[in-house]
Amino acid sequence: MRARFGLLLALLVCTPAFAEFVLIPEDRTLQPGGVLSITLQVQNDSSTKDFHVEMPARIVLRTRGVEAAPDIVLNPAISQPMQVTIAANGFTRLRYTGRLPEGLIGNLVLEPVGLESPPLGISVTRAEDANAKEPALPANAGPPEGPTADASKTAVSAVGPSDRDAARFVTAFSPYEPNYIAAGSNGPTNVKFQVSLKFRLFNPDTQTPFLEKLYIAYSQTSIWQVGASSAPFYDSSYRPSVFFLDEDISQWPFRESSRLGFQTGFEHESNGKDGDASRSINTAFVRPILTFPFANGRFISLAPKIYTYLEKEDNPDIAYYRGYCDFLIKAGSIDGIQLASTMRKGTGAGKYSVELDLSIPLKTPMLGNLGGYLHLQYFDGYGESLLDYNQKLPSQFRIGLMITR
């Protein structure tokens, strides 16, 4: 018993001071291109030890679910020493400001890059829409209004431990590929839907920056024959993956504001069937992501996914029909209409596939600010489902709802 008590006491004594970072927006409703002002509060959760922290020279915020949106960079509003000592149970604050992109509109979730803090929720509306009382997404609950930064005073944060744990868990998730549901018919009426999420494995404050960009993901694409007898699922593709993803590894030289990203990893794809209907492949892939932004939030993004087959025993000739590259082109407006095209070319003559996805925002006063996007999808070629990788079925048009794109 004494040994256990001594060990517990040693752990308590050796436990380092822990700093909690919280971003507090000064205004949750802004206009496109407006100035975003936030206060970074750093709380020393230790009751016995001072904490030495270097305040970030800048804060980078990334818009969740909006792939082409440029990063928002915030700089300190005043010049002051960045190295700060925070007394036990104390806190310090520093104000940062930066300008929003002109084309970024709507209810937005802004995630800090390289800083472990819950995301910010803000609403960006045009001046002419200011009378539309649209509630903003909930922002971080910050501490009650009080005196300016003073490391010798105690601040009681409104964010409790369970809230922080939940925030860290939720902010590690984000959409991966588009999430949608759409219906069409080239025979029995069918519904195609896709669910796709990725999870960041390491918190942004890890000592090794490379680890912050490691993800696991799960995507599922299913075709459901709702018009057939007993409404069976025709086929589903299950795609777990693990990969490295850096969406901004450098500025591309063709255009000052262009962005080059990079992704590489491993993916498994199978349809969960057995016998002659079994389909399965394992691939290793690389994907450069080049985005060209233009005025008013418009952009073009090019993202070829180049892969090699590590295992394809169930379908050894799949490269003849699918090839070695999925070429994705996306164009449109960040907050407006977007068109995405995914193309494949097999090694065999005439073996190809093309999928077009048009998404139109439904957030209009006429529709009561409905969430999501009207989704129009067209597919032509081989292998819309993994089961039919070597079959060319009639072209298919569908209409439905896209949740994230």
* Of the candidate ranges 15-29, 73-87, 128-142, the one whose mean pLDDT is the lowest: 128-142
pLDDT digits (tens, 9 = 90+) for 8-30: 444 333 444 456 788 888 888 88
Closest CA to 342 of 323, 368, 361: 323
* Of the candidate ranges 47-56, 83-92, 244-253, 255-264, the one whose mean pLDDT is the lowest: 244-253
pLDDT digits (tens, 9 = 90+) for 165-209: 665 676 788 899 999 999 998 878 999 999 999 998 987 666 777
Let me know: does 343 contact 356? Beta carbons within 8 Å.
no
- Give the DSSP letter string of 244-290: EEEEEEEE-TTSTT-EEEEEEEEEEEE-S--GGG--EEEEEEEEEEE
Residue 155 has pLDDT above 60, yes or no: no
Look at residue 22 in the predicted model and tell me its pLDDT. 85
pLDDT digits (tens, 9 = 90+) for 299-352: 999 999 999 999 999 999 999 999 999 999 999 988 789 999 999 999 999 999
Percent of the chain that is helix, strand, coil (3-state, to 5): 10, 50, 40
Residue 219 has pLDDT above 70, yes or no: yes
Residue 280 has pLDDT above 50, yes or no: yes
Residue 144 has pLDDT above 50, yes or no: no
Amino acid symbol at 23: L
Confidence of residue 127 (pLDDT cuts 50, 70, 90): low
Instruction: Report the 10 Å Cβ neighbour count for 237.
Output: 19
Pair type for strands 51-54 and 35-44: unpaired
Closest CA to 40 of 105, 118, 95: 95
**Alpha carbons 326 and 192: distance in angstroms, whole number:** 20
Look at residue 269 in the predicted model and tell me its pLDDT. 98
Strand partners, 172: none
Calculate what percentage of the chain has a pLDDT beyond 90: 41
pLDDT digits (tens, 9 = 90+) for 222-253: 999 998 888 899 999 999 999 999 887 775 55
Look at residue 66 in the predicted model and tell me its pLDDT. 73
Look at residue 253 in the predicted model and tell me its pLDDT. 56
pLDDT digits (tens, 9 = 90+) for 360-384: 999 776 776 677 899 999 999 999 9
Residue 148 has pLDDT above 70, yes or no: no
Q: Select the more confidently predicted residue: 136 or 209.
A: 209
Residue 92 has pLDDT above 70, yes or no: yes
Per the rule left: phi > 0, alpha: psi between -120 and 50, beta: everything else, 316 is: alpha
Residue 262 has pLDDT above 80, yes or no: yes
Please give the average per-residue pLDDT across 78-103, as a whole number: 81
Residue 258 has pLDDT above 70, yes or no: yes
- What is the maximum span of the chain, computed from C-alpha positions, in angstroms? 78
Look at residue 236 in the predicted model and tell me its pLDDT. 96
Look at residue 164 in the predicted model and tell me its pLDDT. 53
- HEC string of 180-220 equals EEEEEECCCEEEEEEEEEEEECCCCCCCCHHHHHEEEEEEE
Where do the domains of the chain lie, and which CATH numbers do they carry?
Answer: 16-168 (2.60.40.10), 172-404 (2.40.230.10)
